[in-house]
A and B are shown apart, each in its own frame.
Chain A
Amino acid sequence: NAGVTQTPKFQVLKTGQSMTLQCAQDMNHEYMSWYRQDPGMGLRLIHYSVGAGITDQGEVPNGYNVSRSTTEDFPLRLLSAAPSQTSVYFCASSYSARSNQPQHFGDGTRLSIL
């Protein structure tokens, strides 16, 4: 049981490039989300999804797109990378969005934008 798998683990991009951060879970979880973690700051929600075909914006959505075509996958797309998007990105999933459900996190993607 792999849990939440994020790829790649590390990535360096040039300003203006685009890329997709992959997130997959094998727990049949309905709820998935993306956070970013910057030094000295807590995790901030970028986008989330309560099920296949349904996505919504979180606290810091600008510059990012998501889609949810299957229950298992929730990719995060950077449209035109900017140095301000240098961060560690975490994907999380839970059985549902209910507040008594624990969330399971991946090990993160460390992204540097030059």
Chain B
Amino acid sequence: DAKTTQPNSMESNEEEPVHLPCNHSTISGTDYIHWYRQLPSQGPEYVIHGLTSNVNNRMASLAIAEDRKSSTLILHRATLRDAAVYYCILRDISGSARQLTFGSGTQLTVLP
């Protein structure tokens, strides 16, 4: 399986944008890029996913590099509630991998 690399931790100030990077240099052409986050004492929460083009939803934006070897999750205005561990996950388009493979993720701290 293709692996992802994320920084262990990042800090952001409240109400400022946050850019969370993810490297996936061995990504295959059939891998979706998914982002989940896990707030303290809660289950993981789906954030966004994409294949080739940039994606936007109510929670965040996903910017995918042209060569797809990296991506960035963008939170446009961080709030204290956004403090969580953010996971970048690759999933093969065939769906043959039945599980989400969670790495260690990025612990985001939002400062008031």
Contacts and interface: CB of A to CB of B under 8 A. Distances in A.
Interface of A: 4, 33, 35, 42-45, 48, 56, 58-59, 90, 92, 96-100, 102-108
Contacts of A103: 44, 46, 100
A33 B46 CA distance: 15
Given A42-B101, A45-B99, A100-B91, 10 more contacts: A42-B102, A43-B99, A45-B98, A45-B100, A58-B98, A100-B51, A100-B93, A105-B44, A105-B45, A107-B41
Interface residues of B, number: 23
A48 B99 contact: yes
6 contacts: A56-B98, A96-B95, A99-B95, A100-B32, A100-B51, A108-B42
B98 A90 contact: no
Nearest to B97: A99
